[in-house]
Amino acid sequence: QLDIILCDYILKQKPFQQEALTPFRTAIQAFHLDWISKKPACLITDILEEVVDKNGVKSSKALLYTHLPEAIRQDRWWWDFDSTGTYYAGSRTRMEVQAVEWI
């Protein structure tokens, strides 16, 4: 997602609560989607990150902070992003992915 790099940088510079960055994340994503949806296209994006730690405890976080464009065709699936525990040490990570096509 476009907002992740910027928000990670901001969080390294100043201590913010994650929730304080939600309007910023929403604005970045909404602007980008508004801009790209002016022409026919297909977008494939991860919308949810799910982590299962070594004890089987699940946690998840939303990656999409706005609405995707109205689609003529769409699909969702789970992607086993990291089953070996390297992205988050000792944990399995999967992403919920959504694809949308608009004209």
State pLDDT tens for residues 7-54: 889 888 988 888 889 999 999 999 999 999 999 999 999 999 999 999
**Tokens found for residue 25:** 């994340």
In the chain, the number of structural domains is 1
Amino acid sitting at position 55: N
CA 90 – CA 47 distance, rounded (Å): 22
What pLDDT shows up at residue 16?
A: 81
Asked whether the beta carbons of 101 and 73 are under 8 A apart, the reply is yes
Domain span at 48: 2-102
- Is 66 a residue whose pLDDT tops 90? yes
